[in-house]
Structure formats: structure tokens, C-alpha cells
Amino acid sequence: MSKTLIAVLGVIGFILIIALLIVGWITSIYNQLVQLDEMTNQAWAQVENQYQRRYDLIPNLVETVKGYAKHEREVFIQVTEARAKVGQINITPEVLKDPQAFAKFQQAQDALGSALSRLLAVAENYPQLKANENFLQLQAQLEGTENRISVERRRYNEVVQRYNTYIRRFPVNIIAGMFGFRERPYFRAVEQAQQAPKVQF
């Protein structure tokens, strides 16, 4: 074999090794992106699971309180309307990739939470209702669900932070962009949460 052929084969071999290393590196980053993307989807599924639990409990709570507080019609209407709005939003994995859709979803959930708070405040004005075992169980279930929602939202935000941080790093951001991986939105506090509640006696 001539020296030229050996040199050409050496260069080709070197290029192949470099190409294989680059492909392996890109594959490794892509697989990490997929894993983080799936972790984000799984965390979101847990948030949805708790929202569904709350959504299912609301009719029972409303009916129980209605029996005692017949004249508090406005509160029942607000809760029912807020629940209906939440039910109208079609939740798909694409919501996580669309900040406007995500904000709309969060807004509907926050409105429902606010309406439920008013319903529970109404219920506190009825001593017989507060002593009713069914109401106490529903109230405990709802409070537990609200706590679970808070925990799952926090977990979701932690996973999203990890995912967003990873896809923004160089050179991962180039590969993420090539394969269509985009930042995910965080859950944010509602505007009213920024203001301290007023306590009046």
C-alpha cells in the first residue's frame, strides 16, 4: 500500500471516529431532553389528577351546603360557573408548550379556587352545617385536595426548572432547538396573593 492511501484511510478513520463521537454526544443530549420532557409531563399529570379530584368533589360540597344556605344563591352560581369554565378547557400536553393556553388554564383554576373559598366562608356562618358529618368530611377532603394541588404545583415547578435550565445551556440549547424542545411555563401566584389579607373584627 502506498503512503498516500494509508494517509487517506487514516484521515477517513479519524473523521469516522469524530463523527461517531458527535452522533453519540447528540444522542446522549437528545435522550436527556426526552427524559426531562417526560418528567415534566408526568409532573403535570399529577397536577391534573388533583384538579380532577377537586372538580369531582365540588358538586357534593355545593349540594350539602345548599341544603342549609338556601338564600346564598350567588355563591352557588359562582362556584357552578367556575367549575363549568374549568370543565370547558381541553387539557392536552400542548397546553404545557403554549404559555397563553397555560395561563388561561391557570386562571380558570384560580377562579374556581376563589369561588370555593367563598363557599366555605358561607358554610362557616351555619352552625348546624359545621356540625354536619357529611359537610365535615367534604370540607376535609377539599382542604386535603387543595394541599395536594399546592404540593403537585410545587413539584411541577421544580421539574420545569430542571428542564428549562437544561435546555437553555450551551450547546444543549442548539440541539434542543433542532428537535423542537421549548421552555415550559411555571405556575405563578395569582395577583391577589401579592396583597396581605385584611383582617377586620
> What value does the mean pLDDT take over residues 109-130?
73
Please report the domains of the chain, with CATH numbers, ordered by start residue: 3-185 (1.20.1440.20)
Dist CA 196 CA 174 (whole Å)? 43
* Residue 69 and residue 127 in contact, taking contact as beta carbons nearer than 8 Å: no
pLDDT at 196: 44
* Residue 171 and residue 26 in contact, taking contact as beta carbons nearer than 8 Å: no
Between 199 and 18, name the one with better pLDDT: 18
- The pLDDT-based confidence of 117 (bands split at 50, 70, 90) is confident
pLDDT at 126: 63
pLDDT at 99: 80
Looking at residue 70, what DSSP letter applies?
A: T
pLDDT over threshold 50, residue 198: no
Helix (H) or strand (E) segment spanning residue 93: none
pLDDT at 199: 35
> pLDDT tens digits for 1-60?
678 888 888 888 889 999 999 999 999 999 999 999 999 988 988 888 888 888 888 787
pLDDT over threshold 70, residue 153: yes
> 191-201 burial string, b = 16+ CB within 10 Å, else e?
eeeeeeeeeee
Looking at residue 197, what DSSP letter applies?
A: P
> pLDDT tens digits for 61-109?
777 776 666 656 677 777 778 877 777 777 676 777 778 888 888 888 8
* Alpha helices, DSSP H, located in the chain: 3-68, 73-88, 99-124, 127-131, 133-168, 172-178
> What value does the mean pLDDT take over residues 153-167?
93
pLDDT over threshold 90, residue 158: yes
| pTM of this structure | 0.66
Between 120 and 17, name the one with better pLDDT: 17
Q: Report which residue type is found at 37.
A: D
